[in-house]
Structure 1
Amino acid sequence: MTRLFFIYLTFLSALISSAQGIDQPSVDFKRAAVDVSFDPSSELVVGSISFEIDILKATDQVHIDANNLLEYSVSSTSHPDIKGTTDDAGLLLRARFRESEKATVTITFKSQPNKALYFIDTDADKRWDQAWTQGQGKYTSNWLPSIDDMNEKMEWDISITAPAEFTVISNGKLISKSTESSGIQWNFDMSQPMSSYLVAVVVGDYQVSSQVSSTGIPLDFYYYPQDSSKVASTYQHSRQIFDFLEKEIGIGYPWEVYKQIPVKDFLYAGMENTSATIFSDQFVQDEIGALDRSYVNVNAHELAHQWFGDLVTEESGTHHWLQEGFATYYALLAERALYGDVHYYVNLYEQAELLNDQNQSGNTTALMDPNASSLTFYQHGAWAIHALRDLVGDVVFKNSIKVFLKKYAFENATTDDLLKIVADQSGKDLTDYKALWLTNKQFPSEEALRLLRKDLFMEAYLQLLARRISTFDEAYNSYKETLKQPVQKEAVLEMVGQLSLHDDARKYKLLEQAAALNNLEIRQLIALTTTEVNDNNKSMISSFLTDNSYVTREQSLVLLWNAAGDKKRLLETAKKAWKQTNESFDLAWLALAINTEGYTKTERKKFLQELQEYTRPSFSTETRQVAFDYLVALDYLDDQNYLDLYQAALHHNYRFYEYARKLVNEQYAQEKRRALMDEVVELLTPAEQEKLKLVTDL
């Protein structure tokens, strides 16, 4: 996830504070009790938060991180004269706090968050249908007075009131629900401390499917009511992953419950909020789509964070790999348990290739550089752990991890804290290891290759990889060997990729043999690496139209359509063969049909209207972007599409709004578009118009 900055708490006098900066030696936050309410007609947060704090040293002010406050008041039963003031750093609570005192301070507030809490209006009716938080990288203090410093951990108890039609999910165990005048109050309890950035809230229309782990931990899998048939395929292997990680890590899951909640238009793949992972609902897939976009790796990664990040948290960004590297590594181990050793080592190799490319680009940094790339923190971090385990052995490594997690449970740790434990447990000097893997500005590609060669399959796989620069004649016998039993899927996938580089007609026989293995991933790659249909591959590509992969079906349909004489017949025949489709596939079919002779003008108009609907906010950002691309290519953007595009340019998801703003500028640069675009912009509110003009060329 995105790195956290952190702001020190202030407890010094105003004079010292302004002269020396903010410090935090005087107070320890022990507990936070949150009571907030949500109204779907408003994007405001209304409520209170009470902090129980231990005063370690006498001070006359306490600093709370708080942004976007519209109103606030402060109170304390032990300090009736307490005052609150705000500045750019947050909220200062002023009172005479005595050394060794246990104080409770309450902030009643109204906030209007501009980040970290997002309200999703799926039907553009000015009432949001879903709300969710993303604290890491943007901070919880943008909607809730809290402590940005991840080194300050406290026990959180959270009460949330929302209208009765909504389900509310938050950290910890749901201990009660009660009816209030404004809806239902949901009360959650945590028994252990965590950092503020891990506070999570989701409000929306959900149902839940539950299981229990082998150690008795409740596992709650949330889903939208219309997605009940997708629960099993989306959450496949979830209980198995949970049980595996508990056993592999050697420390029991540290929280009372584990929940997973899909949300619309999420910023990332997933986020490991304590006991409550939030993830993108694009991973909610039926049994066909689950091959194209499997949630398994994200599932395992975010679960591993419950130990590495939530239980033990990095002390600063310098040690971010202790969270992301370990989560990436243990997700690979979970997949190894599911899919085998070959899958594990090939994934390590592919990560090493990316890291070596980063080396060659000149953009690489040390793993312990707080400004390192995500590729470094995640993949280089995972490799560093793989290398450490190889260096000290399985028994010492696993024991060291248990000692580390126990010693720093519910606290913060550094890289040296971990290395000291591993050194003590192994009796090894880790100086050279740290220099090679952690502080070296280059990913150690040669050492990674040496470690890969320890596996017998990888030695043969690396020989196959070397054929990438061979002629077809030189590689032909290797390809035939690859298809002999027992076949390794990963080797066949590599062969398929290489065959796409050759023009020799003999490759089609090899591809047919590969397709005949009936492995969906192999067949999908054949479709994706095929550029045209000819007499050699038409039968094979046609057979892909009913594969249990939407990606394979879509690519095959496009290939066959390009080569077809009767394109309408192809589209109609193919459509009848599919019992279910997904949005991407539907978009592709509509775009092809609009460009197909044989359909009447009325039929084409209907297809166009259906395609234009996909730019609406009710669809995912990914689907909307594909729809915009098709409509631009077809030159069919109408006033509603431009309105949708403007709203996309103001969206909270940065990848999507960057795309939309670029498209707005490209369209507006065309003189023939300007009159309509200027007319449509008037449909926005004055505030929306002002913001849109600041971020585009309108």
Structure 2
Amino acid sequence: MRFLFVLLFFTFLTTQNHAQGIDQPAVDFQSAKVQITMDPAQEMVSGTVTFDINILQDTDQVLIDAKNLVEFTASSTTHPSMTSSQNDAGIVLKYRFRESEKTTITIAFKSQPTKAMYFIDSDVDGRWEQAWTQGQGKYTSNWLPSIDDMNEKMEWDISVTAPDDLTVVANGNLISKKGEGDRMTWNYDMTNPMSSYLVAVVVGNYAISTATSQSGVPLDMYYYPEDEQKVSSTYVHTKEIFDFLENEIGIAYPWQNYKQIPVKDFLYAGMENTGTTIFDDQFVQDELGAVDRSYVTVNAHELAHQWFGDLVTEASGTHHWLQEGFATYYAMLAERHIYGDEHYHVNLYEQAELLNEQNQSGKSTALLDPAASSLTFYQHGAWAIHALRDLVGDAAFKAGIKRFLKEYAFKNATTDDFLDIMSQESGKDLASYKSTWLTNNQFPSNEALRLLRKDLFMEAYLQLLARRISPFQEALNSYKETLQPPVQKQMVLEMVGQLSLHEDTRKYDLLERAAATNNLEIRQLITLTAQEINDYNKEMISGMLTDASYATRENALVLLWNAATDKARLLKTAKKAWSTTNESLDMAWLTLAINSTGFSNNDRTAYLGQLQEYTKPIYSTSTRQIAFDYLIALGYLDDQNYLDLYQAALHHNYRFYQYARKLVNEQYAKEANKPLMDKVVELLTEREQEKLRLGTDL
């Protein structure tokens, strides 16, 4: 399922097949064979999908979910007199189907998806260079006739024809490639069933780095050819995570292979399509960038979903924690394996703090509420599993997990299905557990605290946390003890955060000692929490200008620039010392240079031009947003930037287009901007202008 920052709503009116809420007589979709063609000159999909269906009871119709169809025809080799029609729900197939019959139905179609498949034209030349799908929450039926109900699982085989200079990735094993002219057809085969929302297709320019798990599973790690030097830092620990999870869960990885593909402007951090994780390419980082934006958590979370969500799928949204809570929990276990017990327990504490805040805000709901927040499904869900393991013990927990995954493999399950197995394996009545952790409208903070206190490290950590409200003199001895070997990173990070609240100059000696640990996270936090440069910290912060972290460099640069008398000299010296930068650090440097004396007017004009380039669609949404913010603060949006802003307001990423539309309205409210903005908007197509009017107050 999508990782973090997502609120999901699922409604399932029946355990039988249905199309968009319309009751459908019981039929069983066994398999689907997809053959599609994708043309970079069109944001459309054309092809066929052939279903093998078992009729479980007499019926005169079969429903197939399908939206955004430009055209379609339906035929059946087994029932040639079958007729078809289309309504708001999808495709209606009419025939007197009889119980125990088997039928084969082929839908030839052309679709123009408005969601669930996205076409990326980052150079705005009218031809997309990358396309990818996101079925969860938007449904695969937006581009491919399929079945939205996740309780319907079938085996999918997918063939995609695309230009021969592009790579096609889909679920399953690549069994063949066949070229014809300037086209290549990629044929992928699956051997086990899955829900339609897990169907995945990616088309783009990729290379592959391969590895093999301890158990022999192929691990394919895709990357853009120009990012070859970033592969090891991006996919660090991938094999280790895979081997750990397979051993910890105790059930062999259930699919033929495992592929990970970065894509541009993805809607979320990642998505665990069956055997095929798609993730945001902003996690593709060199060694310095990986310190600031690590893929490890997303990597582990999406891999855990291959068991919890893909192998065994929730029966309805009420049981969503069986996917998100478990993926979050097992990702935490993988991180504990890599980073240690202290990391794991501090992570639990930080999640509990967020859940406590949700309690206090009055927004907390039961974990079994299908309208619960992402925080509840993910973090509360992980806590519930941690508590269950503590209650039943390791042996019973692991035995229960293995049995649950075996009994419901390639099926759907409910919370009671899971609890029944856990109760049988442990011999414990779990009614009290269920009321405390699953149906309680509040996160059980006191019980979480009790569990945290069972760990000796956490007892010491909680004592240090209590110093947050202590005067500096009272906390000083605790801070000194924190820096005694063996130094615990989590303890030092908490101390650094607390020191930012104190003004006593003795804190700088403690910060110097913390920085001397040479831990990149600690040093980064020191620059992030420093409020100013003074005689006590100037040398320390100056030394961090060349740390192996772009974020640390940026934080240090801004602090030093604010205090510098010769700002241009500082900027030139810093830039000379860096062999590499990233977009965020580069934009910060350019913005500071534009605001610094000591550079010629020609230089500053050139720097402004470089900064203005970052609003273009070729860059990520996060980079573009930072660039817009800088340029607005400087008052330097030109016609190209306004065009980029209008296009951003039409973007497929919800958070980004909401940001852009708000910005459009704010800028248009200023009378001085209206003439240029009115002129630029005419450069958009009529369709784009109409979409813009519907999405803004203009």
- Give the TM interval when normalised to the shorter protein: over 0.9
Q: Give SS of 1:376's match.
A: helix
What amino acid is aligned across from residue 36 of structure 2 in structure 1? Answer: V
**1:599 equivalenced with 2:604 (yes/no):** no
Q: Counterparts of 1:204 and 1:515 in 2: how far apart (Å)?
A: 43
The aligned counterpart of 1:266 is: 266
Q: Counterparts of 1:26 and 1:602 in 2: how far apart (Å)?
A: 73
**1:576 equivalenced with 2:581 (yes/no):** no
The aligned counterpart of 1:617 is: 617
| Deviation of the 1:659 alpha carbon | 0.4
Q: Counterparts of 1:694 and 1:34 in 2: how far apart (Å)?
A: 35
Q: Give SS of 1:660's match.
A: helix
Q: In the alignment, is the contact (CA less than 8 A) between 1:11 and 1:60 conserved in 2?
A: no
Quick check: 320-329 or 91-100, which moved more? 91-100
| Deviation of the 1:10 alpha carbon | 12
What amino acid is aligned across from residue 10 of structure 2 in structure 1? Answer: F
**1:213 equivalenced with 2:218 (yes/no):** no
**1:567 equivalenced with 2:572 (yes/no):** no
Matches within 5 A, 1:469-480: 469-480=469-480
Q: In the alignment, is the contact (CA less than 8 A) between 2:207 and 2:224 conserved in 1?
A: yes
Q: Counterparts of 2:128 and 2:76 in 1: how far apart (Å)?
A: 35
| Deviation of the 1:23 alpha carbon | 2.3
Q: Counterparts of 1:272 and 1:180 in 2: how far apart (Å)?
A: 32
Q: Give SS of 1:457's match.
A: helix
Matches within 5 A, 1:481-560: 481-560=481-560
The aligned counterpart of 1:151 is: 151
1:405-463 deviation digits (Å, cap 9, x = unpaired): 00000000000000000000111000000000000000000000000000001001000
The aligned counterpart of 1:116 is: 116
Q: Give SS of 2:273's match.
A: coil
Q: Give SS of 1:192's match.
A: coil
The aligned counterpart of 1:44 is: 44
Q: Counterparts of 1:540 and 1:420 in 2: how far apart (Å)?
A: 58
1:556-587 deviation digits (Å, cap 9, x = unpaired): 00000010111111000110100001000000
Matches within 5 A, 1:354-503: 354-503=354-503
Aligned pair in 2 of structure 1 residues 9, 46: CA closer, same or farther (>3 Å)? farther
| Deviation of the 1:9 alpha carbon | 8.9
| Deviation of the 1:21 alpha carbon | 7.2
Q: Counterparts of 1:660 and 1:102 in 2: how far apart (Å)?
A: 51
Q: Counterparts of 1:526 and 1:75 in 2: how far apart (Å)?
A: 67
Matches within 5 A, 1:136-215: 136-181=136-181, 183-215=183-215
Q: Counterparts of 2:428 and 2:57 in 1: how far apart (Å)?
A: 41
1:608-656 deviation digits (Å, cap 9, x = unpaired): 0000000000000000000000000000000000000000000000010
Aligned pair in 2 of structure 1 residues 603, 685: CA closer, same or farther (>3 Å)? same
Aligned pair in 2 of structure 1 residues 597, 87: CA closer, same or farther (>3 Å)? same
**1:652 equivalenced with 2:657 (yes/no):** no
Q: Counterparts of 2:325 and 2:656 in 1: how far apart (Å)?
A: 27
Q: In the alignment, is the contact (CA less than 8 A) between 1:9 and 1:64 conserved in 2?
A: no
The aligned counterpart of 1:231 is: 231
Q: Counterparts of 1:593 and 1:547 in 2: how far apart (Å)?
A: 21
| Deviation of the 1:5 alpha carbon | 3.0
Q: In the alignment, is the contact (CA less than 8 A) between 2:25 and 2:62 conserved in 1?
A: no
What amino acid is aligned across from residue 346 of structure 1 in structure 2? Answer: V
User: Which of 6, 10, 25 is residue 5 of structure 1 equivalent to?
Assistant: 10
Q: Counterparts of 1:334 and 1:406 in 2: how far apart (Å)?
A: 22
The aligned counterpart of 2:691 is: 691
What amino acid is aligned across from residue 416 of structure 1 in structure 2? Answer: D
1:30-61 deviation digits (Å, cap 9, x = unpaired): 00000001000000100010000000111111
Q: Give SS of 2:193's match.
A: strand
TM-score normalized by structure 2? 0.98
- How many residue pairs get aligned? The number is 693
1:172-200 deviation digits (Å, cap 9, x = unpaired): 01000111356100000000000000000
What amino acid is aligned across from residue 5 of structure 1 in structure 2? Answer: F
**1:681 equivalenced with 2:686 (yes/no):** no
What amino acid is aligned across from residue 366 of structure 2 in structure 1? Answer: A
| Deviation of the 1:8 alpha carbon | 6.4
| Deviation of the 1:25 alpha carbon | 3.8
The aligned counterpart of 2:346 is: 346
TM-score normalized by structure 1? 0.98
The aligned counterpart of 2:93 is: 93
Q: In the alignment, is the contact (CA less than 8 A) between 1:4 and 1:136 conserved in 2?
A: no
Q: Give SS of 1:544's match.
A: helix
Q: Counterparts of 2:507 and 2:457 in 1: how far apart (Å)?
A: 24
Q: Give SS of 1:191's match.
A: coil
Aligned pair in 2 of structure 1 residues 248, 408: CA closer, same or farther (>3 Å)? same
**1:251 equivalenced with 2:251 (yes/no):** yes
Q: In the alignment, is the contact (CA less than 8 A) between 1:332 and 1:344 conserved in 2?
A: yes
1:269-294 deviation digits (Å, cap 9, x = unpaired): 00000000000000000001001000
Q: Counterparts of 1:411 and 1:462 in 2: how far apart (Å)?
A: 43
Q: Counterparts of 1:416 and 1:174 in 2: how far apart (Å)?
A: 38
Q: Counterparts of 2:14 and 2:34 in 1: how far apart (Å)?
A: 20
Q: Counterparts of 1:177 and 1:470 in 2: how far apart (Å)?
A: 67
Q: In the alignment, is the contact (CA less than 8 A) between 2:12 and 2:316 conserved in 1?
A: no
Aligned pair in 2 of structure 1 residues 245, 370: CA closer, same or farther (>3 Å)? same
Matches within 5 A, 1:655-670: 655-670=655-670
| Deviation of the 1:11 alpha carbon | 9.9
Q: In the alignment, is the contact (CA less than 8 A) between 2:68 and 2:114 conserved in 1?
A: yes
1:439-498 deviation digits (Å, cap 9, x = unpaired): 000000000000000000100100000001111111111101100011100000000000
Q: In the alignment, is the contact (CA less than 8 A) between 1:272 and 1:302 conserved in 2?
A: yes
Q: Give SS of 1:125's match.
A: coil
Q: Give SS of 2:22's match.
A: coil
What amino acid is aligned across from residue 202 of structure 2 in structure 1? Answer: V
Q: Counterparts of 1:327 and 1:124 in 2: how far apart (Å)?
A: 37
1:330-386 deviation digits (Å, cap 9, x = unpaired): 000000000110000000000000000100000000000000000000000000000
Q: In the alignment, is the contact (CA less than 8 A) between 1:161 and 1:182 conserved in 2?
A: no
Q: In the alignment, is the contact (CA less than 8 A) between 1:57 and 1:98 conserved in 2?
A: yes
Q: Counterparts of 1:123 and 1:103 in 2: how far apart (Å)?
A: 46
Q: In the alignment, is the contact (CA less than 8 A) between 1:6 and 1:148 conserved in 2?
A: no
Q: In the alignment, is the contact (CA less than 8 A) between 1:343 and 1:490 conserved in 2?
A: yes
Q: In the alignment, is the contact (CA less than 8 A) between 2:15 and 2:151 conserved in 1?
A: no
Q: In the alignment, is the contact (CA less than 8 A) between 2:547 and 2:553 conserved in 1?
A: yes
**1:131 equivalenced with 2:136 (yes/no):** no
Q: In the alignment, is the contact (CA less than 8 A) between 1:121 and 1:130 conserved in 2?
A: yes
Q: Counterparts of 2:378 and 2:539 in 1: how far apart (Å)?
A: 42
Aligned pair in 2 of structure 1 residues 7, 416: CA closer, same or farther (>3 Å)? closer
Q: Counterparts of 1:333 and 1:307 in 2: how far apart (Å)?
A: 15
| Deviation of the 1:6 alpha carbon | 5.1
1:193-247 deviation digits (Å, cap 9, x = unpaired): 0000000000000000000001000000000000000000000000000000000
What amino acid is aligned across from residue 436 of structure 1 in structure 2? Answer: T
What amino acid is aligned across from residue 55 of structure 1 in structure 2? Answer: I
What amino acid is aligned across from residue 49 of structure 2 in structure 1? Answer: I
Unmatched runs of 5 consecutive residues or more in structure 2: none
Q: Counterparts of 2:533 and 2:82 in 1: how far apart (Å)?
A: 77
What amino acid is aligned across from residue 592 of structure 1 in structure 2? Answer: L
| Deviation of the 1:22 alpha carbon | 2.6
Aligned pair in 2 of structure 1 residues 4, 62: CA closer, same or farther (>3 Å)? farther
The aligned counterpart of 1:311 is: 311
Aligned pair in 2 of structure 1 residues 396, 21: CA closer, same or farther (>3 Å)? closer
Q: In the alignment, is the contact (CA less than 8 A) between 1:11 and 1:61 conserved in 2?
A: no
